[in-house]
Structure 1
Amino acid sequence: MTLGSKLAWDDTVLPFQLDMSDVRGRVARLDGVLQGILSQHDYPAQVEALVAEMALLTALIGQTIKLRWKLQLQVQSKGPVRMIATDYYGPEKDGEPARIRAYASFDRDRLTDGAPMDQVGEGYFAIMLDQGQGTQPYQGITPLTGGSLMSCAEAYFAQSEQLPTRFSLSFGKSTEAGGVEHWRAGGVMLQVMPKASPHVTGEGGSGEGGLLAASDLVQGDEEENWNRVNFHLDTVEALELIGPSVAPTDLLVRLFHEEQPRVFDAQPVRFGCSCSEDKVRQSLSIYSAKDIEKMTTDEGTVTADCQYCGAHYVMDPKTVGFEAEDPGES
């Protein structure tokens, strides 16, 4: 296989369905997306790993939703890593890529030498869906649980959506022959088809802290099917997830050939930010001229930096705020 064909699946999400088990899924490979996200910041290694994992989850989850605008995943924590936020913007037109951006807020002095999840304390994992103007945003949250962000996402779907969901992820820095070290990530998401998921009542589940788990939501033939596909997924190897030598289609055949896998059109994803000077001006439009004066630098400008992409905006203080002059009048 040539290098070009090896990399053909980079930065894509491939939807599939396992017809024999009534399970749907996604295979994601991220390469340039992670480089775009992480190269904007000088994150410590543990923070980089958390952002990479969150971005991979966002790509997998975002592709399951018919988006008119934005899906956001967010972690809020009392630990050294205070917040991680990732946005997934659905394609504006058929055939166009989806866009992902991400950033983390953390206290560098509080970081330890421990594992990435050791930097995340008590808090919550949230998924927010915003379909744009004229719609009511939706938010669902679940406590941070398990030893990974992947476990938090699984708990979210069991608790908030009552959809049995499983992730298998791999991510890290890799170096190809003759290349430079860079981040790669790959993963598989499995989910019982929504119509097949029962509504669970009663208090508590078998998960950590009494949260519902996927095993609490399946029974009978559905439980047998779910356990079987998870057994197959348990055999996946990290290098198969990350690639680039194993195509996602080949991986699905290797893992689930008895489940009759059926694939759909792959969705390309790219690093992309939605910030603009107009949006910065809009966010400053609630401030008076006196407030704007307090924000003005010694150089006589108002500046703003995008936390996601690092874009730097410089504006004349007279042209921002609700008392701004019309630039056309000057």
Structure 2
Amino acid sequence: MAETQRNLGEFGFAGDDHVVPFAVEALDIRGRSVQLGRLIDAILSRHNYPEPVARLLAEAMTLTVLLGTSLKFQGKFIVQTRSDGPVSLLVADFSTPHSLRAYASYDAELVDEAIKAGRTSTEDLLGKGVLALTVDQGAHMQRYQGIVPLDQTSLEEAAKIYFRQSEQIPTDVRLAVARQLVRGEGGEARWRAGGLITQFLPASQDRARLPDLHGGDGDDGQNGHVEDDSWSEAQALVATVEPSELLDPTVGSERLLYRLFHEHGVRVFEGTPVRDECSCSRERLHGILAGFTAEEMKESAEEGVIKISCEFCSETYHFDPAEFLNKDQ
């Protein structure tokens, strides 16, 4: 996908639900910034999750679009957690060029207990498990998957560990989520999310080399860093970003990037739109059911109807077993 460079403010700003790539050549960094508005509110509202669960899934979706929109081919990028905490599963699925869907699985009683006890951080809700980042290039290509242990780890930190260990690319990740009141809409609260990923990609590989990768048990991961003035300065600048800046629609991705890097000269590129689109369809499910045997069809039916609900978009499809069984007669 070709990136079109544009100056700050040229042709307007990308606005919500667009991932904005950027580059700061003086610091040898590239990255992407995003603010998610109606898209993320629609997905979370559809499921009616408890607020801490919704907040966690919003972080996963934000991370997914920041990474998934960098793909240069037709395929999928999937962020998935499996863990022993109150939220046992998060799945955020991005299909190029712009489709996002997501869902969470959780224990309602455990989540309620966590809320009452005030233990609703990412680390508390996920517990111990794994974060898997999967690149799927289609049926005829090999899948690539990176696994990061989750042990009282935030999604931000887990993403940094992934890039440090698997890609050996110095990376900083910032995520923010909030439910905000919207003016002019009767005081209704809507979900918003924002994210920023910054990566150190100098022309010289020696400058980007990580001198000390994770050493195994007992390694706190603090030695996996790059002693480079440009990367140190970039990290220091990114550290100044407040969560409110990542979320504020009056700031926007381009203005935020200008605030951070204008002294070094920041270039932004045409934003990539992200849409709330699920890949499920009646036709696809019909094709799957057509392969069932008569016995499997009978076991799947309830009161003479086969009901299939999509976990991602909550759409429910109804099928009459007779339309499949009659084909065999």
Preserved contact between residue 146 and residue 152 of structure 1 (Cα < 8 Å): no
Select which of 60, 70, 73 maps to 1:64: 70
2:163 aligned residue: 157
Instruction: Measure, in 2, the Cα distance between the counterparts of 1:243 and 1:16.
Output: 19
Question: Compared with structure 1, are the counterparts of its residues 143 and 202 closer, same or farther at alpha carbon in structure 2 (3 Å cutoff)?
Answer: closer
1:204 aligned residue: 215
Residue 313 in 1 paired to residue 322 in 2? no
Higher RCO (C-alpha 8 Å, min separation 6): 2
Once the two structures are superposed, residues 119-156 of structure 1 have per-residue CA deviations (whole angstroms, 9 ceiling, x without a partner) of 21210001111111321111111101454211111111
Question: Compared with structure 1, are the counterparts of its residues 190 and 8 closer, same or farther at alpha carbon in structure 2 (3 Å cutoff)?
Answer: closer
1:177 aligned residue: 183
Select which of 294, 300, 307 maps to 1:303: 307
Structure 1: gaps (5+ residues): 92-97
Instruction: Measure, in 2, the Cα distance between the counterparts of 1:289 and 1:56.
Output: 43
Per the TM alignment, residue 271 of structure 1 is displaced from its structure 2 partner at its CA by: 0.8
Select which of 16, 19, 33 maps to 1:13: 19
How many residues are matched? 308
Residue 257 in 1 paired to residue 262 in 2? yes
Runs of 4+ in 1 over 4 A off after TM superposition: 5-8, 199-203
Per the TM alignment, residue 14 of structure 1 is displaced from its structure 2 partner at its CA by: 0.4
Per the TM alignment, residue 288 of structure 1 is displaced from its structure 2 partner at its CA by: 2.1
Select which of 164, 185, 194 maps to 1:186: 194
Residue 35 in 1 paired to residue 32 in 2? no
Question: Compared with structure 1, are the counterparts of its residues 199 and 177 closer, same or farther at alpha carbon in structure 2 (3 Å cutoff)?
Answer: closer
Preserved contact between residue 40 and residue 309 of structure 1 (Cα < 8 Å): yes
Question: Compared with structure 1, are the counterparts of its residues 204 and 62 closer, same or farther at alpha carbon in structure 2 (3 Å cutoff)?
Answer: same
**Letter of the structure 1 residue corresponding to residue 307 of structure 2:** T
Select which of 272, 275, 296 maps to 1:267: 272
Question: Compared with structure 1, are the counterparts of its residues 301 and 249 closer, same or farther at alpha carbon in structure 2 (3 Å cutoff)?
Answer: same
Preserved contact between residue 295 and residue 302 of structure 1 (Cα < 8 Å): yes
Instruction: Measure, in 2, the Cα distance between the counterparts of 1:191 and 1:282.
Output: 43
Q: With the length of structure 1 as denominator, give the TM-score of the two structures.
A: 0.86
Per the TM alignment, residue 6 of structure 1 is displaced from its structure 2 partner at its CA by: 10
Instruction: Measure, in 1, the Cα distance between the counterparts of 2:184 and 2:280.
Output: 36
1:216 aligned residue: 224
Structure 2: gaps (5+ residues): 1-10
Per the TM alignment, residue 260 of structure 1 is displaced from its structure 2 partner at its CA by: 1.8
Instruction: Measure, in 1, the Cα distance between the counterparts of 2:179 and 2:157.
Output: 22
2:84 aligned residue: 78
Once the two structures are superposed, residues 191-239 of structure 1 have per-residue CA deviations (whole angstroms, 9 ceiling, x without a partner) of 122864436676617xx953656x62523xxx21111011111111222
Q: With the length of structure 2 as denominator, give the TM-score of the two structures.
A: 0.86
Instruction: Measure, in 2, the Cα distance between the counterparts of 1:75 and 1:6.
Output: 37
**Letter of the structure 1 residue corresponding to residue 219 of structure 2:** G
Instruction: Measure, in 1, the Cα distance between the counterparts of 2:164 and 2:211.
Output: 10
Preserved contact between residue 40 and residue 308 of structure 1 (Cα < 8 Å): no
Instruction: Measure, in 1, the Cα distance between the counterparts of 2:213 and 2:37.
Output: 43
RMSD over aligned Cα atoms: 2.4
The DSSP-based 3-state class of the residue aligned with 2:179 is strand
Instruction: Measure, in 2, the Cα distance between the counterparts of 1:28 and 1:314.
Output: 37
Instruction: Measure, in 1, the Cα distance between the counterparts of 2:87 and 2:237.
Output: 34
Question: Compared with structure 1, are the counterparts of its residues 252 and 202 closer, same or farther at alpha carbon in structure 2 (3 Å cutoff)?
Answer: closer
Instruction: Measure, in 2, the Cα distance between the counterparts of 1:122 and 1:147.
Output: 8
Question: Compared with structure 1, are the counterparts of its residues 145 and 165 closer, same or farther at alpha carbon in structure 2 (3 Å cutoff)?
Answer: farther
**Letter of the structure 2 residue corresponding to residue 108 of structure 1:** A
The DSSP-based 3-state class of the residue aligned with 2:235 is helix
